[in-house]
Amino acid sequence: MIDGDISVLVLGDESDWDSYQKFCRHLQKHRSGKLNWVTATYGLLEKNRLPLVKSSTLIIYLFFPFAYWDKHIENEGYNGIYGNVEFYDKFRAFWSDIHRTLEKVYQDKKIQFINHPLKVAIDRDKEVTKTILSENGINVPMSYYTREYSDILKLINQESKKLFLKVRYGSMGKGITYMEKGNWKTNFRFEDGRIISPRSDYGWTFIDITDNMEFLKEILTKDIVIEDAIDPYTLDGFIFDLRFHVLYDRMLYVYPRVNEKDAVITNISQGGREGSSILLKKLPKHIIDRAVRDAVKTIKAVGVDFAGVDVMISKDLKVYVVELNAFPGFPKVGRFNLSKRIIQQVEKVGE
């Protein structure tokens, strides 16, 4: 049983080695008289074995439910291609159940969430997220709502547009098709008239599908977002974007994610890598300042407390928010101890 005025329950999965385990390891070393920290797993929640808490106020910090996702959403038997609307519907239903359970178990507490369960899935809907951000004055890539293949051909061949066709409800750089005149690439696979999703979070490599009309017609029937591909600013011959870790109204950490100049995306799970912070110093200060403001503004607009916000800088030095991830991976501790900074910020709020 946890004593004290305020306790923090950290809820995640042991299989989450990239964030939850890193956070828990740091908590084991952490000493504080300000807040009581306790960890638990979604498995314990399912077994009705969550820790008892005496504190009148409980802050709940939610990590990604990997075990549930792998068993019930992105399992070997799921229908359709990766990132379809069924993914999103099941994910939202999961968080609704989590919310009801936590409210029931801790009904005598004043509960606060770091990312409310009913808000935490919003970032999985790319189109809704982009609409919210645009309505709040944040630059996002322009969307196209056609599903006519002739319109796509006109955009890339006659208007010289560069386009991304992304699954609407995906993440980690999975399920992306890039199109420009004479250069079509996808990290899906296409066999016998059917789009196939690789069965891994990693290694979604891009292949050439230039002028493959069958693929284009098929992908346009799926749950996708069609948007302009930002013509990127390059540094030292690399394409890059900036990953901002933001908690409440504070930017905790930023680093560039880089890839080769001819690459399609910068996601670390798909071949990108964490670039040197020296690259940041090569960008104009007012651009970095603008990106920080937009990253903070992004999580406020969407209604979450903590997220990784991905920002791209265009060739003409415009700032675009291109992605939001409510469950970002944590950097290596030797590079930056994000767990420590999160704990510090939560304890300031709890004072």
The rounded distance, in Å, linking the Cα atoms of 147 and 246 is 35
User: What total of structural domains would you count in the chain?
Assistant: 3
**For residues 176 and 187, is the Cβ–Cβ distance under 8 A?**
yes
SS3 of 126, please? helix
**What is the structure's pLDDT at 349?**
80
Within this chain, do residues 245 and 108 fall inside the same structural domain, yes or no? no
Within this chain, do residues 167 and 85 fall inside the same structural domain, yes or no? no
Q: Is the pLDDT score of 84 beyond 50?
A: yes
**For residues 83 and 116, is the Cβ–Cβ distance under 8 A?**
no
Tell me, yes or no, whether 183 lies in a domain. yes
Within this chain, do residues 186 and 198 fall inside the same structural domain, yes or no? yes
Average pLDDT over residues 38-58: 95
**For residues 173 and 265, is the Cβ–Cβ distance under 8 A?**
yes
Write out pLDDT tens, residues 291-350: 999 999 999 999 999 999 999 999 999 999 999 999 999 998 888 999 999 999 999 886
Within this chain, do residues 129 and 261 fall inside the same structural domain, yes or no? yes
Within this chain, do residues 257 and 128 fall inside the same structural domain, yes or no? yes
**What is the structure's pLDDT at 350?**
67
**Greater model confidence, 81 or 334:** 81
**What is the structure's pLDDT at 246?**
98
Within this chain, do residues 256 and 289 fall inside the same structural domain, yes or no? yes
Within this chain, do residues 55 and 167 fall inside the same structural domain, yes or no? no
* Band of pLDDT at residue 32, cut at 50, 70 and 90: low
Write out pLDDT tens, residues 103-130: 999 999 999 999 999 999 999 999 999 9
* Band of pLDDT at residue 40, cut at 50, 70 and 90: very high
The rounded distance, in Å, linking the Cα atoms of 103 and 112 is 10
Contacts of 77 (CB under 8 A, 6+ apart): none
Q: Is the pLDDT score of 1 beyond 50?
A: no
Tell me, yes or no, whether 278 lies in a domain. yes
Tell me, yes or no, whether 336 lies in a domain. no
Average pLDDT over residues 203-231: 97
Write out pLDDT tens, residues 228-265: 999 999 988 999 999 999 999 999 999 999 999 999 99
Tell me, yes or no, whether 50 lies in a domain. yes
Average pLDDT over residues 167-185: 97
**For residues 305 and 248, is the Cβ–Cβ distance under 8 A?**
yes
**For residues 224 and 165, is the Cβ–Cβ distance under 8 A?**
yes
Nearest to 8 by CA among 96, 97, 100, 106: 106
Cα 71–Cα 167–Cα 331 angle in degrees, nearest 5? 70
Tell me, yes or no, whether 82 lies in a domain. yes
Q: Is the pLDDT score of 3 beyond 60?
A: no
Q: Is the pLDDT score of 42 beyond 60?
A: yes
Q: Is the pLDDT score of 55 beyond 50?
A: yes
Tell me, yes or no, whether 331 lies in a domain. no
Pick from 228, 257, 279: which residue ends a domain?
Answer: 228
Within this chain, do residues 115 and 128 fall inside the same structural domain, yes or no? no
Which residue segment(s) compose the domain that 87 sits in? 6-121+344-350
Residue 87: in which H helix or E strand, if any?
helix 85-105
Q: How far is CA 275 from the centre of its chain?
A: 19
Pick from 228, 258, 274: which residue ends a domain?
Answer: 228
The rounded distance, in Å, linking the Cα atoms of 19 and 29 is 16
**What is the structure's pLDDT at 116?**
97
Domain CATH for 321: 3.30.470.20
The CA radius of gyration of the chain, in Å to the nearest whole number, is 21
Tell me, yes or no, whether 332 lies in a domain. no
**What is the structure's pLDDT at 129?**
97
Within this chain, do residues 242 and 129 fall inside the same structural domain, yes or no? yes
Average pLDDT over the chain, rounded to whole? 94
Q: Pinpoint the alpha helices (H) of the chain.
A: 20-29, 42-46, 66-68, 85-105, 126-135, 149-153, 213-219, 285-302, 338-350
Tell me, yes or no, whether 296 lies in a domain. yes
Pick from 203, 228, 253: which residue ends a domain?
Answer: 228
Q: Report pTM.
A: 0.95
Residue 45: in which H helix or E strand, if any?
helix 42-46
Average pLDDT over residues 192-219: 95
Within this chain, do residues 149 and 246 fall inside the same structural domain, yes or no? no
Domain CATH for 77: 3.40.50
Within this chain, do residues 135 and 281 fall inside the same structural domain, yes or no? yes
* Band of pLDDT at residue 14, cut at 50, 70 and 90: very high
Within this chain, do residues 295 and 184 fall inside the same structural domain, yes or no? no
